[in-house]
């Protein structure tokens, strides 16, 4: 079956079929081989991607820009301060104008209860593919790299593989829900057993959890939620320690000092939620540690684990480049 992804938006892989996801994974492997053998192909030669960042980025910004360069195209690194967005330009006007000038729009906007809505409004008016570089609900570019990395270590048949997605203490910033939410949606579609652990004040969004349960039921996966990190980690093949903010704890989120003070107070109650060597020892002997990075070292997880033999965090980070190439080439230009 031939799958044509030209012009397709990527806001969440939950809107993509398994066949479409497999096409991205196979294309990612192809680009990884090309890079390893120093071969150059340029399916996006002279094509332009507009990248709009409302927040900071290391892996996403550089993987996307490097991908465009290596595919023969060019990425514009934009921020609201460089655009008329800072003066209130509408999503409609931005989308239509950029569609007249380039071949793709990629956006990172993680502001809670704003980002995903903004991406969908851009996609509504753009007639070129719109790619989420992370919003407040989803992070598709991270989860596809995660899936590629897991398959590299465990093969294509991931049925029964246990992945522990565990909330962890961090103070760098109130991290979005989008990484764990994308993981609990994607992993059960491949038959994986996902064990999620978090304190009661740091849940994931109810509608995402419900969809994840449905994905597990339809694809032979399993998803469970527990209130203890050690319980989730026990007998796991992969452990992913990850902080996320308590945004979903509030039925109606208002961006004000009172809510942030409450979230900070809740955070400080759970400093003991840290992946240590003692807790990781409960996982399988050959278990792997993954993390989307940046990690709050010594808070989310101890350095001995991140830098130890079980860590595959840099393989995971590298695969952001190869999967970015696949997504861009397929949506902006067609199969290479």
Q: Give the largest Cα separation in the chain, rounded.
A: 56
Q: Is the pLDDT score of 157 beyond 70?
A: yes
pLDDT band at 26 (very low <50, low <70, confident <90, very high): very high
Percent of the chain with pLDDT over 70: 97
pLDDT band at 74 (very low <50, low <70, confident <90, very high): very high
Summarize pLDDT for 184-230 with one digit per residue, the tens: 999 999 999 999 999 999 999 999 999 999 999 999 999 999 999 99
Q: Is the pLDDT score of 256 beyond 90?
A: no
Q: Which of 15-24, 76-85, 175-184 bottoms out in mean pLDDT, i.e. has the lowest?
A: 76-85
Q: Residues with Cβ < 8 Å from 273, sequence gap 6 or more? A: 166, 167, 168, 169, 199, 229
Amino acid 251: pLDDT: 66
For residue 209 the two structure tokens come to 């959890």
Amino acid 84: pLDDT: 76
For residue 226 the two structure tokens come to 């527990």
Amino acid 88: pLDDT: 80
Summarize pLDDT for 135-153 with one digit per residue, the tens: 999 999 999 999 999 999 9
Q: Could you state, in order of their start, the residue ranges of all structural domains in the chain?
A: 13-139+319-332, 140-316
Read off the pLDDT of each residue in 250-271 and give the average, rounded to a whole number. Answer: 80
Percent of the chain with pLDDT over 90: 85
Tell whether domain 140-316 is in CATH 3.20.20.30.
Answer: no
Summarize pLDDT for 279-304 with one digit per residue, the tens: 999 999 999 999 999 999 999 999 99
Tell whether domain 13-139+319-332 is in CATH 1.10.287.1080.
Answer: no
Summarize pLDDT for 322-333 with one digit per residue, the tens: 999 999 999 998
Give me the helices (H) in 12-90, please.
18-36, 59-70
Whole-number CA gyration radius for the chain: 19
Q: Residue 204 gets which letter from DSSP?
A: P
Q: Round to whole Å and give the CA distance between 254 and 319.
A: 36
Amino acid 253: pLDDT: 61
Amino acid 104: pLDDT: 98
pLDDT band at 72 (very low <50, low <70, confident <90, very high): very high
Domains 13-139+319-332 and 140-316 share a fold: yes
Amino acid 261: pLDDT: 84
Summarize pLDDT for 262-273 with one digit per residue, the tens: 888 989 999 999
Mean of per-residue pLDDT scores for the chain: 94
Read off the pLDDT of each residue in 72-79 and give the average, rounded to a whole number. Answer: 94
pLDDT band at 259 (very low <50, low <70, confident <90, very high): confident
Q: Round to whole Å and give the CA distance between 52 and 248.
A: 26
Q: Is the pLDDT score of 257 beyond 80?
A: no
Contact predicate 233/203, CB 8 Å = no
Read off the pLDDT of each residue in 102-131 and give the average, rounded to a whole number. Answer: 96
pLDDT band at 99 (very low <50, low <70, confident <90, very high): very high
Secondary structure class of 13 (helix, strand, coil): helix
């Amino acid at each position: 079956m031939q799958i044509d992804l030209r012009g397709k938006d990527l806001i969440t892989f939950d809107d993509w079929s398994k066949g479409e996801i497999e096409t991205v994974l196979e294309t990612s492997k192809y680009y990884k081989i090309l890079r390893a053998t120093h071969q150059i192909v340029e399916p996006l030669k002279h094509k332009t991607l507009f990248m709009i960042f409302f927040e900071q980025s290391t892996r996403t910004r550089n993987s996307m820009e490097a991908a465009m360069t290596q595919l023969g195209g060019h990425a514009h690194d934009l921020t609201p301060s460089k655009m008329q967005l800072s003066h209130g330009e509408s999503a409609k006007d931005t989308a239509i104008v950029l569609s007249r000038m380039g071949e793709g729009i990629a956006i990172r906007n993680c502001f809670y209860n704003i980002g995903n809505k903004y991406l969908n409004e851009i996609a509504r008016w753009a007639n070129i593919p719109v790619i989420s570089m992370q919003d407040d609900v989803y992070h598709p570019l991270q989860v596809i790299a995660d899936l590629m990395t897991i398959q590299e270590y465990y093969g294509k048949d991931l049925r029964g593989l246990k992945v522990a997605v565990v909330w962890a203490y961090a103070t760098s910033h109130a991290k979005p829900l989008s990484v764990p939410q994308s993981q609990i949606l994607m992993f059960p579609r491949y038959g994986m057993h996902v064990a999620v652990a978090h304190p009661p004040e740091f849940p994931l969004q109810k509608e995402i959890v419900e969809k994840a349960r449905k994905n597990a039921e339809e694809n032979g996966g399993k998803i469970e939620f527990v209130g203890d990190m050690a319980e989730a980690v026990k007998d796991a093949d992969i452990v992913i320690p990850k902080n996320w903010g308590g945004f979903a704890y509030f039925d109606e989120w208002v961006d004000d000092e009172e809510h942030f003070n409450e979230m900070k107070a809740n955070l400080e109650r759970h400093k003991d939620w840290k992946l240590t060597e003692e807790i990781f020892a409960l996982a399988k002997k050959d278990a792997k540690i993954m993390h989307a990075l940046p990690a709050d070292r010594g808070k989310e997880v101890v350095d001995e684990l991140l830098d130890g033999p079980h860590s595959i965090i840099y393989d995971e980070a590298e695969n952001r480049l190869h999967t970015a190439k696949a997504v861009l080439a397929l949506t902006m230009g067609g199969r290479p």
